[in-house]
Structures are given as structure tokens and as C-alpha cells.
Amino acid sequence: MNVVVIGTGYVGLTTAVSLAMQGHQVAGIDVDESKIIQLRQGKTPFYEPGLDEALPRVLGTGTLRFTTRLQDAAHEATVVFICVGTPSGADGSADLRFLLNAVDNLLELQEKTPAERVIAVKSTVPVGTTDYVAQQLQSFPELHVVSNPEFLREGSALRDALEPSRIVIGAETDRAFALMEQLYLGISAPRVLTTRANAEMIKYASNAFLATRISFMNELARLCDKLGTDVKTVARGMGLDSRIGPEFLQAGLGYGGSCFPKDTTALLQLAKQHEVSLTILEKVREVNLNQPEWFIRRMRDQLATLSGKRIAVLGLSFKPETDDIREAPSLKVLSLLLAEGADVAAYDPVASPSVQRIFPHVTYADTPYDACNGADAAILVTEWKECTQLDWVQVKERMSAPFLFDGRNAWPAKQLKDIGFSYTGVGRS
């Protein structure tokens, strides 16, 4: 099928590449001309495993191209995906300006080159948004507006696009469902065929529930810390229950990234607009906001003071295998440490340049070992393998004092204690 993807950010580019890999003829559209030039050269604007190799490959086969002009690419398209950003507005609700601008461009396209098309909204939007888009386009009955939310995990996005856990399609006509099924014909995954509003709610509810699991474990870790129990063992015991499962039960420094913080806030704002109180989700957000501060207090208790101490911060991106620092716990950790008067050295395999623009006075090391040179303490913020699979004898030799603070419960606690480190995890006995 001929497919157009409006927006070449994280979701849009991954969607475009994955569809091109499946043999569809895909055009990626973006208003940023410099980004389009970069993409035409086969260079990705962000780090995502597998995408650097896949992009030049599909460019070479001719199944993917990029342009700044919708008119040049979409006149033959059967499916047009809207994958533009929906950032948080000043009040936390989703800012739909980019999406509505894309709709205006599609109106102009349809007036000039009328044809049957599916307009698929893949951007994460408040419930009712896709119905509103359909109303804006209702003068063109040959257009089928659907909601087709994405469930991509940063660090494994390309694999998730090629092998999705489920495909959710919200539409109002049999023809719309049929065209989307034709697009996804080669993908074996459970289908949820429903209304547009249900599809939008599935996306928000999924992210909110995963965020809830994380914050529940982080709050439970605080109690484990007081009781002398081990939240990691507790999580394992919980996860063996088939009704619960092991995913997203890891206590740590909180969630970050482009989805969970933004989507939980947007869902809370949507509920507020409809005079519904989501008290559990409000607490989820509160726990996440103050989790880094709770752990830094644990550091201060161990070290007596952070002022003048050299602290090695290992990992800066919000999770491994991505350079995304949006809402990353590391930003809060760095801010708190600097406010306490600490001398900070940080390491991350890919995200350091982005963080350096925000915190220029932090020392950025080339290796985790260099970050630990002369350190009074080290804190694990992101569980990159480069930060967890270390020669601990060498680390101890390089540090001035043996204090380790495991913000992801990913270091080998017993081994470290046997070597002579003072080890503190999140809610670990």
C-alpha cells in the first residue's frame, strides 16, 4: 500500500521504517527541512537500537522516502498516519496544535486531489480527539478517520513495531477496518477493533496503569526500607502470581520519558475537565515526582553531608538503550546533588551531550570508571549494561570512599558487600 507518515519524530520515524520494511511504499513528512535532509542521508536524529541500520536499508530499496511537502507525497496514498507530537500544555493537558495543523493540511490535500484515504491518528490524544478530526473532515465522505494508537517502548521500538503486542483500531465503518487490516495483513498480533474513543482510552489507560505499578513499588520500597525487608525479593514473589506478572514491578528512582509523565498528567486533566477525580493516579504522579528526593535523602543520611563530596552519577537517559532525557530522573538527581553542594561527575554512553546543555558545570566522563575516579560515592541512575557490568575491584580502587547507591537495584549487592563496599539500594534490606 502507499502510506504517508506525517511527523518523523520517535513514533513517526519508527512507524515509517517498519512499514517500509514490510514492503509498503512509504513517504515521511516533516516541516523541519534540516531533519529531512539528515533522514535522506540515512541518519537518525535520535538513538534507537536497530533503526540506524534499518533506515539506510529501506532508503536503498526505494520503499521509503522523505519530503517536506505533503502534496508531493500524499496524492497516491491510501493510508495517512498522523504521528505529530502532542506535548503537555501549560496546564498539563495535551497540546493539539500540531495535530490540528496536520488536519488543515489534509483538508487542503483532499480538496486538490480527492481520493479514498484512511486518516489514522497514531499520536497520543485525549479521548474524543479523533472524533473531532472526523467532524473536521466530514465534508469528504471518502475519508475514513481512525484511531490507531502506538505501543512502542523506547529501546525496543522497531521490534515492537514489527512484532506488536496488539493492534488497536478504532473506526466507525467496515471499510475503514478493512483498509487497516489490509495494511497490517502480514502482522500476527491480537486485534482490538473498537470505537475511536475506546482506542484512545486504551492508550491512556495502558500507560497510566504501568505508571501505577511503578509508583506502587516505589512507595512500597520506602516501607521495606523501614522494615528491613527486600523489595526486590518481594517483587519476585509478587510477579510469580499469574494475576500480577513480573513486568513493571522494579522499584527505583521513578519513571520518565516522553510518555508516562505526559500521558498521566493529560489523563488527570481530562478527568478534571469532566469533574471526575482519579485519586489513585494523582498519588502515582506525586510518588514519582518525589522519589529521587527520597533517595537523595538516603544518600545524605549515609554520607552525613553531600556538600563538598564528589559523587559519580552513572546513567543519564531515562532508561537504557535510548538517548531520551525527557523527564529523566537523572535531571532531578543532578539538580538535587548540585543544590547540596556536591561535585558531580557523570557518565552515559549516549545521553551526555543532551544533559550537558542543561547542566554545563557537571564533569562528563568518557567511561564509568573515569566518573568514579576520586568519588566519595557513586549512584546508579540508569541501568545501562556499561554501568552495571563493571570490574568492581577496579571501581573500589578508583573511589575515595566505598559508598554505592543503587537507584535501580541492578548491582550485585552481596558481591559488593563482600568486596567491602557500603551498598544501599531502593528498599533493600
Active site residues: 259
Grid look-up 535501580 returns 408
**What letters, b where the CB count within 10 A reaches 16 and e where it falls short, cover 6-44?**
bbbbbbbbbbbbbbbbbebbbbbbbbeeebbeebeeeeb
Give the full edge-to-edge strand order of the sheet including 25-29.
64-67, 25-29, 2-6, 79-82, 117-121, 143-147, 167-170, 191-194
Please, what is the Cα angle at 24 between 23 and 30, to 5 degrees? 130
Rg (CA), the chain: 24
Give the Cα separation of 184 and 286 in Å (integer): 39
Contact status, residue 340 vs residue 297, Cβ threshold 8 Å? no
* Interacting residues of 130 by C-beta distance below 8 A, sequence separation 6+: 121, 145, 146, 147, 170, 196, 197, 199, 200
Grid look-up 563496599 returns 421
Please, what is the Cα angle at 243 between 240 and 248, to 5 degrees? 65
Count the residues in the chain.
429
* Interacting residues of 402 by C-beta distance below 8 A, sequence separation 6+: 396, 420, 421, 422
CB atoms within 10 A of CB 53: 11
